[in-house]
Homo-oligomer: A and B are copies of this chain.
């Protein structure tokens, strides 16, 4: 089955991206890591590396979006969404011995020299960040926070978790993420109670 090979390649790309970054991840690496047949890359991904990366970012990003939506929808709890988001990131850090982070950030933090590539990739990363933000914000609004505040609060949540992940990689420790989590939980709780 060919679609199986395709999926494996996209998955491998996401795993390699979060560790070595955009330029640091080569098509060769993806082939080796996925065990995919060498001659099939440009069959499945006519646009080559850019397309592979686009799909990997979308895959990883949409998975997070779904997670947030599930935890915040209906009778959900935004604080649980925060904890889950943090847990996912912490697991990635620990399981890669602090060599891996978030593939979306990895791509967003590098600007390729090639213009077209730059545009295509920032389009995906921007969409993912917007989705995360909307999902988080909706959960907060459902709990009584006003839309404008919910949006900026959601941005703070996402930005700080992502920033903490980078700090954890540098320090080979989950402490930055742990600290950010407790601060965020306290802040979100207070905000939901109308205290702040």
Chain A residues engaging chain B, CB cutoff 8 angstroms: 19-24, 99-101, 105-106, 108-113, 118, 122, 125-126, 128-130, 151-153, 155-156, 158-164, 166-167, 169-172, 175-176, 179-180, 182-184, 186-187, 190, 195-196
Contacts and interface: CB of A to CB of B under 8 A. Distances in A.
A122 to B, nearest CB: 5
A169 to B, nearest CB: 6
A161 to B, nearest CB: 7
How many copies make up the complex? Answer: 2
Contacts of A113: 20, 24
A12 B81 CA distance: 41
B170 A126 contact: yes
A22 B155 CA distance: 27
What does DSSP make chain A's interface, helix, strand, loop or mixed? helix
Given A126-B170, A155-B179, A156-B184, A109 B163 contact: no
A118 B161 CA distance: 23
A95 to B, nearest CB: 14
Given A22-B24, A158-B167, 11 more contacts: A24-B112, A99-B118, A105-B109, A106-B109, A106-B110, A109-B109, A111-B169, A130-B171, A155-B183, A160-B180, A161-B163
A182 B108 contact: no
Contacts of A167: 108, 129, 155, 158-159, 162
A180 to B, nearest CB: 5
